[in-house]
Structure formats: structure tokens, C-alpha cells
Structure 1
Amino acid sequence: MLEFDSVSKSFGGLHVLQDVNLRVPKGSIFGLIGPNGAGKTTVFNLATGLLQASGGDIRIHGQSLRGLPPHQITRLGMARTFQNIRIFKEMSLLDNVVVGSHRHLHYGLGGILLNLTGFRAQEQQAREQALELLRWMRLEHKADEMADNLSYGEQRRLEIARALATQPELLLLDEPVAGMNASEKQELMQEIRQIRERGYSIFLIEHDMRFVMGLCDEIAVLNFGRIIAHGQPEAIRTNPDVIEAYLGREDDDTAPEVLP
């Protein structure tokens, strides 16, 4: 579904990514891990058009994303959340999610100003779909509350609901359980599995190793801008290069022998 083909990214003389090759299969939950500063969020920013690659190509369904702005990439079926939550805090939960659906609405300015039947019908449909997405995220009972009143974990679930409102095929999650307690993490893990069961593919970055290992079908490991390992969780868990890069040298007495 999503391919990185020998992708590099430089900022001046700083090489953030070098010759990155990734394949995110359709229908999978694919994880990208690595130490702080490895370049993980840069991968997401390149995929979604916030940055342009210095070399190589990125494709979704075989179509190159080179030069495309974020809104056009969204139309191709990709949506994301951010490490730092970006919701409209002075809007209701329902309105936050309806915003995500607007790319699928086809009324013009005249329809809005004149309150035409087509405008009202599409807005009603968007609100019904938004309420269903809030139900998926266990937030429907707060649909009319202001987003600013939500807990941190609820705000993250709201951001996922809004991303799903764009009707993507591939959902990118940037550290989805950051700031959550153990119970919230387990609940979100189950919700992500359910999203996949509904036909979505998922590509996530996460620092919580237990979460990644318990959720992902495949994992790639990024270190100093290069992919150093790629495989199923068990292979990644015991890979000596991953242990050294992520947790310390194998001869370091303070480094665990395997990942959690």
C-alpha cells in the first residue's frame, strides 16, 4: 500500500534519512520504532507531504507522492495523527470530527449561504458519520462537549476519529499512546485492532515497546536515519542490532538481553 523507495532527506548538511526502504502491506498494522532522533516523524512528514524528500520516491498504491501537497495526499487515501495533539479545542467533539469529513462534501458557497436542501442533507450525513466514529472511539456520550474538556487520552481518541472521518485507507498514528496510563493503552490497542478489522491499514510510530510488540504484524527499526532491521515482532525483539541501537551495547551490563 505505502512504499518508500531509497528515500533520503537532508536539511542542509544534516542527513536525517538515508536510503530508507519500507513496504507497508495492505490490511496490516505496521510499526516503526527507533531511538529519539532516529528520523521516525520525518518519515511520516514525508509520507503526508509536510516535507519533500531529497531523494528517492514514496508511493501509495503505486502512485508517486513526489511534489504533492498534504490535501492531495489525503484524497489518495492517507490520514494521520500527530505526536503533539492537534484538535480544535473550542469546538465540540462532533464538530471536530465533521471537519475531517468535509473533503467528501460537494456543496458550494451558494449552498451554504442559501441553506439549500443539498447542503443540509450532506451536513446531516456528515454528522451521522461523525457520531458513528465517536462511537467507535467510545466518545459518543460526549459528542456535544467542548474538546478542551477531554482528558489527554480522550483527546488522542478524538484525533483518531477525526482522521478516520477523511475516509482513509491508510491511517498513520504518531505515538498514539503517549501520555496514557496502562489501562488506556490496553483499550486503545483493542480499538486499533478493531479499526484494522473494519478494513483500514495502519502505520504507527510508538516508543512503548510492549504496545508495539503486542499489536504490530511487522516492525521496522530506524537508527541514525537508516533501517537496520525489519520483520515480525519476535525477530525484532531478539535482534542484536536492535538491542544495541535501542537499549545499549550487548556487553553493557545495564542493557536487557531482549526487548520487552
Structure 2
Amino acid sequence: MLLQFNQISKNFGGLQVLQGVQFHVPEGGIFGLIGPNGAGKTTVFNLITGLLRASSGNIVFDGQDIGNVAPHKITERGIARTFQNIRVFKEMTLLENVVVGMHDHLDYGFGGLLLNLGSFRKIEKEARERALELLSWVRLDHKAEMLADSLSYGEQRKLEFARALATKPKLLLLDEPVAGMNPAEKTELMAEIINIKQRGFSIFMIEHDMRFVMGLCDRIAVLNFGKIIAEGTPDEIKNNQEVIEAYLGKEEE
């Protein structure tokens, strides 16, 4: 398994947000974590990316415990994340946004950076070429020199995908990728996520849009009030009575 989330609990003072949560994310597919608003999904991502520390349990990524690893080190190990609230640099071009995502992987060397030697120019050229390639993956290469502020909401989300992929992740975390989108935008973004998977990336998304997740994921876990109440294939989840009650409420007898 690429990512193992083992019996994780998280408390904030006297409030227990996660209680013994366990699931495993396989390599090469799309794994989804769904649940009603307030279920604890974002806390899971914040723990994986090092923004929070678990109260108990451990998180293993690519065979190594990452429970006490700093966020920038987790990125270096191969985990990239998008956020529910889009975070692109709107006054930069699309190309510049993606190059920024490559920062930790560019080996300029102090001398090259200081003197603008040929090695620096070569690396810079390669970075721009790679950024353009990533933009082509999300069909935004024709807008590479435009400012990010000129993009539609859905296009900004795709730009965020390209920038995350620039870090060369082994695992891409998507935080509520279709939040605020209309049905047409959701359909287009679904195609982009499938394209990313087909290029060999492993994807883990959290989402409350059950229909969107059902159409994408190979395996799904359901979080409700800080506990995993079900895990399985989309068909298994769709027909799980406890999941139905969590989303629709239990009928009064």
C-alpha cells in the first residue's frame, strides 16, 4: 500500500475529531474519502501533509512513518495537495505558476543562480518546457502566457492540478476538487482527473459530492462523526444502509 492510515485519533482539547480511523490507499488508482460536512475529512488531509499531528496512531507513506515529518519534507517525499479554496498566484502567468511548483526540484546551484551561468539558463529552460507539458495535460497550454486571474473558476482548478503535479508526486491529494462547480465543470474536471490517473499518478480525494466520487474512484471509505463507517467499491458503498443514513438521515420508526 502506498499510504497507510493506522488507527488515527485526533483531539482538539476535549473535542475528539477522529476516532481510530484506519484505511489504506493503494498505488496506481483513485481512492476516495467521503462524508457529510464536518465529518473530519480535511483533518485527515492536514494530518497526512504534516499540518497537524495525530493524538494517537501512525501514518505510513511509501514504507516510512511520516507522523512527525515537517510539511515541506512531506512534499519532498512525494505528496502533493490541492486545497478546497483555490490557491493560485493570480498576478503570475500560468507558466510561472507551474514553475513555482517545481522550486524544490530545481538544482540551480548557488554559483549559477548568482552569475546567471549557462547551467542556470539550461535548467530554467527545461523547467519552462516541463511546465508547458504539464499545462498541456490539463489542456491549458494555449493560455500559458496569460495571467491566472483571467481564468474561469474551473480553469483555475486545473491550473492548481498542474502546479501540484510539478512537484513530481507519488500521491496527489485532491481536497474537495469540485466545490463550487456547476455540472458541466464537474464533468470536465472528472475527465482531467482520469487523464492524470492514466499517466501513472496515484490519487486520493476527499469530497462530499457522492455522485462525483462514485464515477471516479476504485475504492471509497466513508467518514462520519470522526469514524469510518464503511469501505469498499463504489457499488458496495452506494448500497450500504449506514452510508445512506449518514447522508439522508435515519427514518423515524
2:30 partner amino acid: I
Q: What's the C-alpha RMSD, in Å, of the aligned pairs?
A: 1.1
Show the counterpart of 2:61: 60
- The CA distance in 2 between the partners of 1:251 and 1:63, in whole Å, is 47
Measured after TM superposition, the shift of residue 178 of structure 1 is 1.4
1:142 partner amino acid: K
1:20 partner amino acid: V
- The CA distance in 2 between the partners of 1:66 and 1:227, in whole Å, is 20
The aligned runs of 1:1-260 (5 Å cut-off) are: 1-251=2-252
2:247 partner amino acid: Y
1:178 partner amino acid: A
Secondary structure of 2:38's partner? coil
Secondary structure of 1:215's partner? coil
Which stretch shows the higher mean deviation, 154-163 or 103-112? 103-112
1:70-105 Cα offsets, whole Å, 9 max, x none, are 111111111010011111111111000001111111
1:55-80 Cα offsets, whole Å, 9 max, x none, are 11001112000211111111111101
TM-score by length of 2: 0.97
Secondary structure of 1:86's partner? coil
Measured after TM superposition, the shift of residue 108 of structure 1 is 2.9
Measured after TM superposition, the shift of residue 184 of structure 1 is 1.7
Which stretch shows the higher mean deviation, 112-121 or 101-110? 101-110
Measured after TM superposition, the shift of residue 18 of structure 1 is 0.8
Q: Which contiguous aligned blocks of 4+ residues in structure 1 show a shift greater than 2 angstroms?
A: none
- The CA distance in 2 between the partners of 1:145 and 1:179, in whole Å, is 23
Secondary structure of 2:215's partner? helix
TM-score by length of 1: 0.94
Show structure 2 runs of 5+ residues with no match.
none
Secondary structure of 2:243's partner? helix
- The CA distance in 2 between the partners of 1:221 and 1:118, in whole Å, is 49
- The CA distance in 2 between the partners of 1:140 and 1:194, in whole Å, is 15
- The CA distance in 2 between the partners of 1:251 and 1:13, in whole Å, is 31
- The CA distance in 2 between the partners of 1:18 and 1:109, in whole Å, is 47
Give identity over the alignment, percent: 69
Matched pairs, number: 252
Measured after TM superposition, the shift of residue 238 of structure 1 is 1.1
Show structure 1 runs of 5+ residues with no match.
253-260
Secondary structure of 1:159's partner? helix
Secondary structure of 2:9's partner? strand
1:199 partner amino acid: G
- The CA distance in 2 between the partners of 1:217 and 1:251, in whole Å, is 33
